[in-house]
Structure 1
Amino acid sequence: MDDKLAQLLREYGIASPEITLLRHNENRTFKVTDTSNGTDYLLRVHDPITTNLAGVQHTRHGIESELQLLRIIAQKSNLVTQVPLTTFSNQLVTPIEVDGHQHNCSILRWIEGRNLTLEDSATADAAYQLGAQVAALHQVFDAYTEVQREDRPDYGIRRIEQMLTQIRRGVELELFSPDHYATVEKTLTLIADRLKSLSPQTAKQGIIHADLNMSNILVTPRGEFVFIDYSLFGFGYRLFDVAMMALNAPKETREHVLKGYFGQESLTQERYAAIEGFMLSAVFGYYAFVMEHEAAHSWIRERMPLLCENRCKPFLNGERIFLSF
């Protein structure tokens, strides 16, 4: 495979690459160092590790829409982002054959940094900055009008229905009991029902990142926060991104994430309730993605009963759970 990747990289003008596999999740990702000049890049082979991670975002049109979004972020904001490269023939996406299957590939500029930790968001200022940065990102998203909805995932109520189907497989795989699934179903159904009755301001939708977990936020040597991996971006509720970012802060500073995002706007009880629902949706989304990944099964067996008991049941009983994660 390395020979094929090296040949592909030459189309981007990288003649002497050193290729290191980083991980295989929604894509196979590699760090590429051009040994002729020391420049680093991120190579992605768009080949998801499980079927639950696959989707329209892996089509050529889907990938191109993501890369165009990265260009928009770089051009129309002060946010640091991974800028895509083009081939000598001005192509953003190139195909490669892996294990008898053809996959699309893309290359991004490398950004040096480490993954965000709870310690990084443990101060009020840092948590506020993370929230404000999500707000700035959403402003940029509003300027990206060329994307076609059919080229990106939909994270609306239909996504909740899809998650239920994917999570139900856990009962068939004997990862958790039917009673636990019933609790999950009640929780996600309540979240969906509440979404249908939200005020327009709380229910605002548009383009969202959809995967703002700690592994997709870098802390650079200069202390900057950089959002990466837009491969799952799509259309959904803006508060979903806010909820995911809130999960990245300890409970002591979590409120400051919301203050950074909303600024002077009031934090109504409706907004809090919606954010709590999206926090649970984000957690369930991860379970759904890895349900068919055997390496995650022992983790699911251990964690699902705790999630149902400590998060879902209090949520169903009307208790506040914003600070319980």
Structure 2
Amino acid sequence: MASIHDSELKRILQEYGINAPQISLIRHNENLTYKIIDTSLQHSYLFRVHHPITKNMEGLQHTKEGVHCELALLQDMTEETDLIVQEPVQTHSSQLITKYSFIADQSIYCSLLKWIEGRNLQREDFSNRELVTKLGVQLAHLHKYFKGLIHNDITQSRPHYGRNKNENMLAHIYKGVEKGLFRGHEYDIIVQTVELIHSRLFGNKENADDWGIIHGDLNMGNILVTEKEEIAFIDFGLFGYGHYLLDVAMGALNTTPETRDIFLKAYFGNTTYSKDILLIVEGFMLISIMGYYANQMENEEVHPWIRERMPLLCKLHCKPFLNGESILYNF
């Protein structure tokens, strides 16, 4: 499904009281997204069709329960925190979710969020030490809120970023060997890397306090800088249950080696972070990159990039990691 016909999209938007929309396609990745401008009121929205571009990106987050759980979280965050988030919009019948039937026996779910004015975080922003500090502080603020929430509904209806998730990721990465994108010995290096990461995550030192609700997808495209130079996290479409340091690692990957310590110190505040914590952060940096490869393995447009980058990932990052070298500043 590349897109929805405009007439069908307009029909769905009428359920939200938008009768004169200006519609612009944004992208199709884990969801199909559009910017909507209500031309009668000049209000802007983000419309999402919860259907991924490739089948191997499907998950609990695309089920009705999963979508509702995300929207309920955003609603609570809007009401209970000063975090800048995309507030869900209800339909005339007070529903957060609409349904779109794109074939006779299958439906997918849609949602509408208020638009946040701002720009995506850019690589050059990391020459701004104040902005890097804000990013670390804001992530700590987000996690503090998450730590106060009950996990039961979330663990049942949202992704779980644990051992099974990583093993499933490896299965998808192996398809790259079958497709001739890289060689078997490179896949073996990836497996050894994940096994080492697991030994550190699920060993005797495992701490339940380190696990909880996380954003799960903190790439630069999901971090906005507002006109007031505030940090806003968007696209909670992959939020779920996982290790808090997975978010930290994704945030650290966005920074430059020169500003990585600034980000980490801002996140941890007065809490001392040990070498063991940095080893876990490094591991999650690698998991984040591998996860992107796995999600894109069925996307032929990305295959040339994977063919070029996988040997470099193994040589420059995984092998040093396996040899006990620090790779925190290698990215």
Q: Give the TM-score normalised by structure 2.
A: 0.95
Give 1:230-245 correspondences, 5 Å limit: 230-245=236-251
Structure 1 counterpart of 2:131, one-letter code: A
How many Å apart are 1:144 and its aligned residue? Answer: 3.1
DSSP-derived class of the 2:190 partner: helix
Q: What are structure 1's unaligned runs of at least 5 residues?
A: none
Identical aligned residues as a percent:
47
Alpha carbons 1:202, 1:271 under 8 Å: kept: no
5 Å-filtered alignment, 1:200-211, equals: 200=206, 204-211=210-217
- Cα distance, 1:200–1:191 mapped onto 2, change above 3 Å: closer
Structure 2 match to 1:215: 221
| Aligned-residue offset at 1:200 | 4.6
Match of 2:124 in 1: 119
Residue 114 of structure 2 corresponds to 109
Deviation of the 1:201 alpha carbon: 5.2
TM superposition outliers: structure 1 runs of 4+ over 6 Å: none
Unmatched segments (≥5 aa) in structure 2? none
Q: Which amino acid aligns with 2:53?
A: I
1:194 aligns with 2:200: yes
Measured in 2, the distance between the counterparts of 1:93 and 1:223 equals: 32
Shift, 1:226, TM fit:
0.8
Query: Which residue matches 1:17?
Result: 21
Q: Distance in 1 between matches of 2:299 and 2:97?
A: 27
The answer to whether the 8 Å contact 1:72/1:144 transfers is no
What is the alpha-carbon distance in structure 2 between the residues aligned to residue 135 and residue 15 of structure 1?
Answer: 40
- Cα-to-partner distance string for 1:107-152 (whole Å, 9 max, x where unaligned): 0000112111122122332222111111111112123326331100
Aligned counterparts, 1:283-298, within 5 A: 283-298=289-304
Matched, 1:155 2:195: no
Structure 2 SS opposite 1:236:
strand
Using the alignment, how far apart are the partners of 1:211 and 1:62 within structure 2?
16
SS at match of 2:153: coil
The total of aligned residue pairs comes to 325
Say if 2:56 is the partner of 1:66.
no
SS at match of 1:148: helix
CA distance in 2 between partners of 1:212 and 1:42 (Å): 18
| Residues 285/222 of structure 1: CA separation in 2 closer, same or farther (3 Å cut) | same
Query: Greater shift after overlay, 263-272 or 145-154?
Result: 145-154
Residues 205-224 of structure 1 show CA distances to partners (whole Å, capped at 9, x for unaligned) of 00000100000001122211
CA deviation after TM superposition for structure 1 residue 284, in Å: 0.5
CA distance in structure 1 between the aligned counterparts of 2:19 and 2:227, rounded to whole angstroms: 28
| Contact kept in structure 2, 1:195 and 1:203, CA below 8 Å | no
Task: Report how far residue 50 of structure 1 moved.
Answer: 0.5
Q: Match for residue 319 of structure 2?
A: 313
Checking the alignment, whether the CA contact within 8 Å between 2:57 and 2:295 is kept in structure 1 is yes
The answer to whether residue 141 in structure 2 is matched with residue 141 in structure 1 is: no
Does the CA contact (< 8 Å) of 2:30 and 2:51 recur in 1? yes
C-alpha separation between the residues in 2 aligned to 1:177 and 1:150? 37
Q: Check whether the contact 2:154–2:241 (CA below 8 A) recurs between aligned residues.
A: no
User: After the TM superposition, which residues 276-287 of structure 1 pair with which residues of structure 2 at under 5 Å, given as runs?
Assistant: 276-287=282-293
Say whether residues 1:228 and 2:234 are aligned partners.
yes
Q: Residue deviations 1:267-322, cap 9 Å, x none?
A: 20100101000110111111111111111111100100110100001001000000
CA distance in 2, matches of 1:42, 1:147: 25
Please give the alpha-carbon distance, in whole angstroms, between the structure 2 residues aligned to 1:314 and 1:93: 47
Q: For 1:132 and 1:3, locate their aligned partners in 2 and report how far apart those are by CA, in whole Å.
A: 44
Partner amino acid, structure 1, of 2:317: R
- Cα distance, 1:196 vs. partner? 1.6
Deviation readout 1:214-260 (Å, 9 max, x if unpaired) = 00001122211110000000101000000100011111010111111
Matched letter for residue 257 of structure 1: F
SS at match of 2:224: strand
Aligned AA (1:57): Q
The 3-state SS of whatever aligns with 2:99 is strand
Deviations 1:154-201 (A, max 9, x none): 101111111111100100011101011011111111111111226355
TM-score after normalising by structure 1: 0.97
Q: Structure 1 residue 97 and structure 2 residue 101: aligned? A: yes
> Separation in 2 of the partners of 1:201 and 1:59?
30
Kept in 2, the 8 Å contact 1:116–1:218? The answer is yes
Preserved contact between residue 249 and residue 284 of structure 2 (Cα < 8 Å): yes
Contact 2:154-2:240 within 8 A present in 1 as well: no
RMSD: 1.4
| Alignment partner of 1:177 is 2:183 | yes
Residues 181 and 200 of structure 1: CA distance in aligned 2, closer, same or farther (over 3 Å): closer
Q: Partner of 2:81 in structure 1?
A: 77
